[in-house]
């Protein structure tokens, strides 16, 4: 019986560690995963501070219209659809898409990287880090947190794009899961399986 006691303690300790790891993983992944919602623009307490087009219903003081914003560090520029600021100072970005997302549980990767780029651009332009943003499709929208992981992914994509422009070679990580819904699959893409 004395031999079994240390083994029992080790087994219980391993189980407790496993449960704690699962709980921590659940909360970390839940926080960073885009949340699928019904589409709508923010309203209460938020005001538009930037719009890529001048619109009669948005005319107000302090709204920038159509200006190309830039992030010098990442050497990128763009025009987000909307940048909102809450009265408490919190900033968020809304990017509108003309298509549907249907049953997908996450936004398209290109749309996610576009929003990540707008996070970086807005942060440099306004001197404040946007907390989160929305990718709004016709049928659903996704609330996306502005995380370090998202910024790292953006930097990796930008590096890959610049490398491809230098040497003219692409090295995509193609797979059935990534390529099955791509509009280039079976047409112009030589990497599709």
Q: Which CATH architecture has domain 35-146?
A: 3-Layer(aba) Sandwich (3.40)
Q: 156-174 in b/e burial notation, b at 16+ Cβ within 10 A? A: ebbeeeeeeeeeeeeeeeb
Average pLDDT score over residue span 149-172: 85
Domains of the chain by residue range: 1-32, 35-146
Task: Fill in the DSSP letter of residue 93.
Answer: E
pLDDT tens sequence across 28-72? 555 567 877 777 777 788 888 998 887 656 556 778 888 899 999
pLDDT (tens digit per residue) in 120-143: 999 999 999 999 999 999 888 899
168: left (phi over 0), alpha (psi -120 to 50) or beta: left
Regarding pTM above 0.75, the answer is: no
């Amino acid at each position: 019986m004395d031999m079994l006691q240390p083994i029992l303690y080790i087994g219980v300790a391993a189980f407790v560690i496993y449960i704690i790891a699962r709980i921590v993983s659940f909360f970390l992944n839940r926080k960073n995963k885009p949340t699928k919602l019904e589409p709508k623009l923010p309203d209460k307490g938020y005001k538009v501070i930037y719009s890529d087009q001048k619109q009669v219903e948005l005319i107000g003081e302090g709204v920038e219209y159509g200006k190309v914003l830039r992030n010098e560090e990442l050497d990128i520029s763009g025009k987000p659809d909307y940048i909102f600021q809450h009265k408490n100072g919190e900033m968020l970005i809304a990017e509108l898409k003309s298509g549907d997302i249907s049953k997908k549980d996450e936004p398209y990767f290109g749309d996610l990287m576009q929003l990540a780029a707008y996070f970086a651009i807005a942060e440099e332009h306004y001197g404040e880090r946007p907390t989160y943003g929305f990718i709004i499709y016709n049928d659903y929208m996704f609330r996306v947190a502005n995380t370090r992981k998202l910024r790292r992914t953006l930097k990796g994509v930008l590096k890959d794009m610049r490398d491809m422009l230098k040497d003219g070679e692409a090295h995509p990580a193609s797979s059935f899961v990534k390529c099955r819904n791509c509009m280039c699959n079976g047409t112009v893409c030589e990497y599709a399986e």
